[in-house]
Amino acid sequence: MLKLDNRDIEILKILSSEARISKADLASRINLSPSPCWERLSRLEKAGVISSYRAEISLKSIVSSVTVFVTVELEHHRSDAFQAFERAVKSKEEIVACWALGGGFDYLLHIVTRDIDSYQRLIDRLLEQPLGVARYYTYIVTKPVKEGGVLPFDSLFESGREEAAIEGGK
């Protein structure tokens, strides 16, 4: 169990919206000298709390694209059926995210393609495989309303709380 204090949480909060912040600026913002700040950052990375750093790319400024969400229900709810579907999803770069769901559908896919035709070709390729898709529903994004959200640290961690316990780690 990894214990996080308010400074650790503040580091995570800052990095979630400003991943390119310099270590010196980060240390200054959390009122620590650079060396202890670096040690905290390294500990969070080694524990797997910080899993990656990445840039958000504005696709509309460089290429035309379509964003589609797809709900999928599988015919069979067996481990091998889920594994086969998940392997297929992981092999398609156009499927940028996939979540297993509880409730009416088994999966929610987030797909980014060049156009509707390329989306349909992707779906056709998936349906040609013996993946046991019973049904799927397509939702085409007409405009983004809110994107690139930052985790709601203030809501997740009670204000004034001295420590937070994070289970796991790597």
Q: Where are the domains of the chain?
A: 2-55, 59-140
- The edge-to-edge listing of strands for the beta sheet with 95-100 is 95-100, 107-113, 66-74, 133-140
Q: Is the pLDDT of residue 95 over 60?
A: yes
Alpha carbon of 80 to those of 84, 87, 112: distances in Å? 6, 10, 27
- Entry pTM: 0.82
Q: What is the CA radius of gyration of the chain?
A: 20
The C-alpha atoms of residue 121 and residue 90 are separated, in whole angstroms, by 17
HSE toward the beta carbon, residue 167, CA cutoff 13 A: 0
Q: Which fold has domain 59-140?
A: Alpha-Beta Plaits (3.30.70)
Task: Please give the pLDDT value at position 169.
Answer: 44
Q: Which fold has domain 2-55?
A: Arc Repressor Mutant, subunit A (1.10.10)
Q: Is the pLDDT of residue 51 over 50?
A: yes
Q: Strands, DSSP E only, in 8-91?
A: 66-74
Q: How confident is the model at residue 155 (pLDDT cuts 50, 70, 90)?
A: confident
Q: Is the pLDDT of residue 3 over 90?
A: no
